[in-house]
Structure 1
Amino acid sequence: MTGNGGEAAHATADREIVISRVIGAPRDLVFEAFTQVRHLSRWWGPEGFTTTTRSFQFRIGGVWDFVMHGPDGTDYQEWITWREIVPPERIALLHGEFRDDPNAFESVLTFEPAGEQTRIVLHTVFPTKELRDEAVEKYHAIEGGEQTLRNLAAYVEGTVR
């Protein structure tokens, strides 16, 4: 028996990336690491990347305009608009290279308590299968996402507390 939720999930399956990790810190601390640029700049991005923020407003409709600097010297222009913020449970965002990027993708982060730890799930849906495949093959989105969550874990487990 399949309801609308099952059909909707199936309709986007070929455009999705889902990455999760259990982090050894309470949910409030893990959530906080996403809410302040002083935290984000210390862990955001895959291994070897650094981040320079041009502007940051963590509120619904607010923007994080930043540049990710790759270890090879390549700069990646990034633009995130916060669409939903439910402390400390959920953040929804639209992520592209610039405002109104037609290839921007939607991500939802959920923060689930797991005793003294937190399970974070990053669920991303791209506009097309081709854009998802390009992100995976050209930009190594799955490995990069896993590395980013590993950086987050190392940061909150060792620094925030």
Structure 2
Amino acid sequence: MDDLASVHDHRFDIVTSRVLNASPAAVFAAFADPAVLSTWWGPKGFRDTIHAFDFRVGGIWRHTLHNPDGREHENEARFTAIEPDARVEFDHNSGKHFTLSFRPAPGGKTLFSLGMTFESAEAQRAARELVSRSNDENIDRLAAVLRQ
């Protein structure tokens, strides 16, 4: 069973964290492999098509998120930090900075955190409800993939 750890914000960040029933290496691998990543990235009901995934610092990740209602959201990110089994950071074309962390937790589990840094307090406040819900759904999908 996965446990919700916390949702918190500071500065202009929104961070959602959860303990996942898998090792940091397994959770990191679920992000680092685009074939697996495309099965869980995005909120509930979304599909993800990855067009490019150059997983190295400076590399580009280009993908399309497909809404359940048929709308498409083009995304592009540039990786700014990668520490295997520990952390991934990237700058998104929306102006947000993402930080994913994979910390060891008791029992061979992982404290996984998905954080987004916004450009201003106003942007953070405006996005808080949607981002918190979407991050929870995203992590739900990741947890389901890890259980397979």
**Given the two structures, how large is their TM-score scaled by the length of structure 1?**
0.81
Matched, 1:47 2:37: no
CA deviations over 1:43-94 (Å, ceiling 9, x no partner)? 1111000011111111000011111001111111111111000011111111
Query: Larger helix proportion, structure 1 or 2?
Result: 1
Matched, 1:107 2:104: no
CA deviations over 1:10-59 (Å, ceiling 9, x no partner)? xx835210100111111111000111110111111110000111111110
**Which of 102, 107, 110 is 1:118 aligned to?**
110
The share of aligned pairs that are identical, in percent, is: 34
SS at match of 1:132: helix
**Which of 113, 125, 144 is 2:134 aligned to?**
144
- Alignment check: 8 A CA contact 1:23 1:157 kept: no
User: Which segments of structure 1 move beyond 3 Å, counting only runs of 4 or more?
Assistant: none
Equivalence map 1:19-34=2 (5 Å)? 19-34=16-31
CA distance, structure 2, for counterparts of residue 70 and residue 130 of structure 1:
26
Structure 1: runs of 5+ lacking an equivalent: 1-11, 97-102
Matched, 1:94 2:106: no
Larger Rg: 1
CA deviations over 1:91-149 (Å, ceiling 9, x no partner)? 111122xxxxxx41112111111122111012221111222233335xx1110011101
Aligned twin of 1:80: 77
**Given the two structures, how large is their TM-score scaled by the length of structure 2?**
0.88
- Residue type of the alignment partner of 2:138: T
**Which of 9, 13, 37 is 2:10 aligned to?**
13
- Alignment check: 8 A CA contact 1:51 1:68 kept: yes
Matched, 1:129 2:121: yes
SS at match of 1:13: coil
Aligned twin of 2:5: none
CA distance, structure 2, for counterparts of residue 50 and residue 35 of structure 1:
18
- Alignment check: 8 A CA contact 1:112 1:118 kept: yes
CA distance, structure 1, for counterparts of residue 31 and residue 95 of structure 2:
20
RMSD: 1.5
SS at match of 2:122: helix
Matched residue count: 139
